[in-house]
Amino acid sequence: MSEFPVTVFHNPACGTSRNVVAMVEAAGYRPEVVEYLKAGWGADQLRDLFARAGITPREALRERGSPAAELGLLDAGVSDEAILAAMVEHPILVNRPIVSTPKGAALCRPKETVFGLLERTPEGFVKEGGKAV
């Protein structure tokens, strides 16, 4: 079987993000896990990911648990470029997890969205807390 690259832009403090990594691994992949709070983002990297996912910077903006409100990013008139620049400066502003594979990219909320990016899915995955997916 050829290698199918899976990259998960991950925040280990997030249960959804941890579950997505576990779901990818349960499907038999060894994902590249990028802890973006440590690694940071580049503007071109985010533009590419968002374009592949079919979302705007505003749609990827994390509102809760981030400085989005204090930075004035929730106002309707704020441009996508201004949001993108803030995301580069404050990586926590990007919602997670974002997964990238040869099939595309997606903000995996809900976590089951990841299955559309994989060639195979796990048999009977059980997420944190013991609930079957």
The strand ranges marked E within the chain are: 7-10, 32-35, 98-101, 104-107
Catalytic residue among 4, 7, 14, 35: 14
Residue (of 11, 15, 21) closest to 93 by Cα position: 11
- Residue 108 falls in the annotated catalytic set: no
Per the rule left: phi > 0, alpha: psi between -120 and 50, beta: everything else, 43 is alpha
Cα torsion 110, 111, 112, 117 to 10°: value is 110
Active site residues: 14
